[in-house]
Amino acid sequence: MKTLANLSLTAILAAGVALPAMAEVQERTLTLSNGVSETHPVADGVAAMRECIVDKTDGKWTLNAFWSSSLGDDLQATQALRSGTQEMVITSTSPLVGIEPALGVFDLPFLFADESEADAVLDGDFGDMISGKMENSGLINLAYWENGFRNLTNSLHPVTKLEDFEGMRVRVMQNNIFLDTFQNLGANAMPMAFGEVFTALETKTIDAQENPYVTIDTSKFYEVQDYLSATRHAYTPFMLLFSKPIWDSYSDEEHAILKECGAVGRDAQRAASRALSSKSLAAVQEAGMSFNEVDPAEMERIREAVQSVYEKHAETIGSDVVEAIRAKLDEIRG
């Protein structure tokens, strides 16, 4: 009987320890918005993240995703996070430089040579440093997902040399680095929210836009653009952002779930994005777009034309930030 009593006491104590741990994960419904369509590889990442969340919370959390800027553009959705009225947004870093100027480092032209360089920078100490800066603006970065290398489409002519940019009305994201980059190339850079781009191209308000192949394909820009040129002029990541006011109301266990599942989604999304990129390039050509590479010598002229952008924006971005990413890239490149 004494042994049975001891076992019962042990069970009660164990239950007493376990109950608070289980209570750390509460019933929650999470709203996530983004600007791309549900056919974009972001959807693969969201699906993987949702599965992870359901598993880690025993089904206590529901993740509702909204597509194609249906809850507002990237900046509007990010402001909703800062005010604590929405949980998550997947957004390119570029529209957020007004909130955190250091994000402008990812807009610098021809920064990364390939995806492996980008991964090493974003998933390492430098990426952690940038994520830390976001907390001061009421935002938690759970992980860096992939937007990818950006390429130019237009309705005028193939871009094969520097002079082909002259006078071209190019939609760019709403930040000064992209504006200056294309103005230095001789284009007429026009800032515009992503959700407005298709109509502006269709009505000839603008001549051109620049995005990764997957976005060009899933957004059906081939319906309103004739030419695609492989400029690879910028690699801009997505950030999976969470509202810090809401984050602060969550438990440490819930924080860990969000971080872990954000990384699971990141890996799935990057894999899907890279697998789809070449397929998207083939698909837009099959749909009628004319594609061209740019001769290396001409590409070097294009790069030289935008080098002043680094010096001009170093102070705004933070000279220490620019120096840190250059040092990291030098380390990676050996």
Q: Would you state the pLDDT for residue 10?
A: 47
Mean per-residue pLDDT, 128-143: 98
Q: How many independent structural domains does the chain possess?
A: 1
Domain that holds residue 161: 28-333
Residue 248 has pLDDT above 90, yes or no: yes
Domain for residue 272, yes or no? yes
Q: Would you state the pLDDT for residue 1?
A: 46
Domain for residue 294, yes or no? yes
Closest of 161, 293, 150 to residue 208, by C-alpha: 150
pTM of the model: 0.84
Domain for residue 51, yes or no? yes
Domain for residue 152, yes or no? yes
CATH code at 156? 3.40.190.170
Domain for residue 170, yes or no? yes
Cα 163 from Cα 166, distance rounded (Å): 6
Least confidently predicted of 37-41, 77-81, 85-89, 231-235: 37-41
Going by pLDDT thresholds of 50, 70 and 90, the confidence category of residue 195 is: confident
Mean per-residue pLDDT, 289-302: 97
Q: Would you state the pLDDT for residue 37?
A: 86
Mean per-residue pLDDT, 157-167: 98
